[in-house]
């Protein structure tokens, strides 16, 4: 589960054709920021081959904040993780989704990060 501002493309690419790992990315729906952050992470990018259905993208509007992340976690992420039957969960907590990051602008506060971690737990 990646809650960075950017789509977790590196992780998703590594498992895009595998049904052994469920990758989930909550990220800002920001469009392309150039070659280093190409437009990707659309909700319809679901994996390929055996991995179809094992890549979940949740693009969020700019400035989503705590409530949007908490809602997405409870209503989309938790059910997907339960359905998959995960034995282990890795939470990638990118700080550029913080309210203090002038470029990320996703407005997550420390309370929001804590709540996301508690939901995963």
Residue 32: per-residue pLDDT = 66
pLDDT of residue 68: 97
**Domain membership flag for residue 1:** no
Tokens encoding 2: 């990646």
Does any domain span residue 71?
A: yes
Residue 78 in domain: yes
Q: How many domains does the chain have?
A: 1
Output the pLDDT for position 105.
82
Tell whether the model's pLDDT for residue 113 goes beyond 70.
yes
Domain range for residue 48? 9-120
Within-domain flag for 28: yes
Q: pLDDT tens-digit profile of 70-109?
A: 999 999 999 999 999 999 999 999 888 999 888 888 999 9
Q: Is residue 88 part of a domain?
A: yes
Q: Dump pLDDT digits (tens) for 14-63.
A: 999 999 999 999 999 876 667 776 667 899 999 999 999 999 999 999 99
Residue 114 within a domain: yes
Provide DSSP, the chain.
-B-SSS--HHHHHHHTT-SS--EEEEEE-----STTS-S---TT---SGGGTT-EEEEEE-TT-HHHHHHHHIIIIIHHHHHHHT-S----B--GGGBTT-TTT---B-HHHHHHHHHHH-
pLDDT at 57: 96
């Amino acid at each position: 589960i990646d809650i960075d501002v950017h789509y977790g493309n590196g992780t998703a690419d590594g498992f895009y054709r595998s049904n052994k790992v469920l990758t989930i990315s909550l990220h800002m729906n920001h469009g392309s920021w150039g070659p280093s952050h190409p437009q990707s992470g659309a909700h319809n990018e679901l994996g390929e081959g055996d991995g179809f259905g094992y890549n979940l993208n949740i693009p969020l509007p700019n400035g989503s904040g705590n409530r949007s992340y908490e809602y997405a976690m409870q209503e989309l992420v938790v059910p997907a993780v339960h359905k998959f039957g995960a034995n282990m969960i890795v939470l990638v907590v990118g700080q550029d989704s913080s309210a203090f990051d002038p470029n990320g602008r996703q407005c997550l506060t420390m309370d929001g990060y804590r709540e996301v971690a508690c939901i995963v737990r």
